[in-house]
Amino acid sequence: MMDVFTVTIERADARQRLDRFLAGVGTWGTRSQVHRLIADGGVWIDGVPAKPSSVLRCGQCVEVRPARRHPSCADVMPEAIPLDVLHEDDWLLIINKPPGLVVHPAPGHWQGTLVSALLHRWQSRPADLDPLRPGIVHRLDKDTSGVLVIAKDAATLAALGAQFRAREVSKEYLALVWGTLRERQGEIRRPIGRHPVQRKRMSVRAGGRAAITRYEVVADTNGMSVVRVWPQTGRTHQIRVHLAALGHPVVGDALYGGGGARAAALAMSRQALHAARIEFVHPHTGKSIGVSAGLPDDLLGLLDRMGLARLALASLTSPRPSSSVSPQQQRASRPRASEHDTRLGTARSSHRASPKLRSLKEERT
What's the mean pLDDT in 90-106? 92
What's the mean pLDDT in 229-251? 96
State how far the Cα of 271 lies from the Cα of 104, in Å rounded to an integer: 19
pLDDT digits (tens, 9 = 90+) for 19-36: 888 877 656 667 777 888
CA dihedral sign, ordered 79, 83, 88, 93: negative
Look at residues 181, 169, 191 and name the one whose alpha carbon lies nearest to residue 242: 191
pLDDT digits (tens, 9 = 90+) for 39-79: 877 888 877 788 888 899 888 888 887 655 555 665 678 89
26, 40 Cβ separation under 8 angstroms = no
Q: Is 141 a catalytic residue?
A: yes
* Neighbouring-strand partners of residue 250: 177
DSSP string, 199-240: TT-EEE-TTSB--EEEEEEEEEETTEEEEEEEESS--TTHHH
State how far the Cα of 329 lies from the Cα of 287, in Å rounded to an integer: 14
State how far the Cα of 251 lies from the Cα of 258, in Å rounded to an integer: 5
Active-site residue, selected from the candidate residues 13, 19, 84, 141: 141
Query: Looking at this protein, which amino acid is placed at residue 175?
Result: A
